[in-house]
Chain A
């Protein structure tokens, strides 16, 4: 925490309000996310964790307030912001008609990368030998790993991950945690939600933003 407060602000949320079906999920929510931060959004089901992540990623528009990237509203500098953003939602964005390799290939290409070794990247997420398997035939965990393989080859500073550990085994979770720490140390930030306890990322390096379930 102490270290990160001095470093550069990557994202700042300013008085965010989110209303879904006439119910206020949160309002007046402000925070900064700096380079080097690993931030966990926590709260009970229905508190608006996913909604908050989607607002920060620029997928949803807040009812009021704004998210700023490099001092500018993200809806006004989408191209620059998207260049620095890696978002993985509940849905992995993996096509079941394509093989693991084709999926990764496409996802990286469309993010602008041109030069990479899919086999090596898939091996890093323990999918060696599954390159040619259709994603639809993979198990839930492998399916998820196919999506997560993108993290292995990313120079985006801002990672926004909604439940990244779902369906991932213990060893896989540890590997991911290590990857997050590495990413934070190299000047990036990770914003995530999870219901699992993390073993390597201890509370002293983890920042938490807590959302409460509200009735009104």
Chain B
């Protein structure tokens, strides 16, 4: 362990701002990327489902006309 106390650790030898800024931005951007990526599957599937519903409707209306 390089640091004596939690405060010491958070202080990062006076470079707290830069170190935590770098780690913070990295963490936030990665989390955002992961959340967006994980959500994509559901989004794609609901899009396909709504497209299927649209096609169903189109088929029906075509069927009635002919």
A residues in contact (CB < 8 Å) with B: 22, 215-216
Contacts and interface: CB of A to CB of B under 8 A. Distances in A.
A215 B51 CA distance: 11
B58 interface: yes
B55 interface: yes
A215 B56 CA distance: 9
Interface of B: 51, 55, 58-59, 62
6 contacts: A22-B51, A215-B55, A215-B58, A215-B59, A215-B62, A216-B55
Contacts, number: 6
A1 B37 CA distance: 56
B36 to A, nearest CB: 22
A35 B29 CA distance: 62
A186 B29 CA distance: 68
A47 B64 CA distance: 20
A22 B58 CA distance: 16
Contacts of A216: 55
A216 B62 CA distance: 13
A113 to B, nearest CB: 48
A215 B55 CA distance: 7
Give the 6 A-B residue pairs with the shortest CB-CB distance, closest first: A215-B59, A215-B55, A215-B58, A216-B55, A215-B62, A22-B51
A216 B51 CA distance: 10
Contacts of B51: 22
Nearest to A216: B55
A44 to B, nearest CB: 11
A22 B52 CA distance: 12
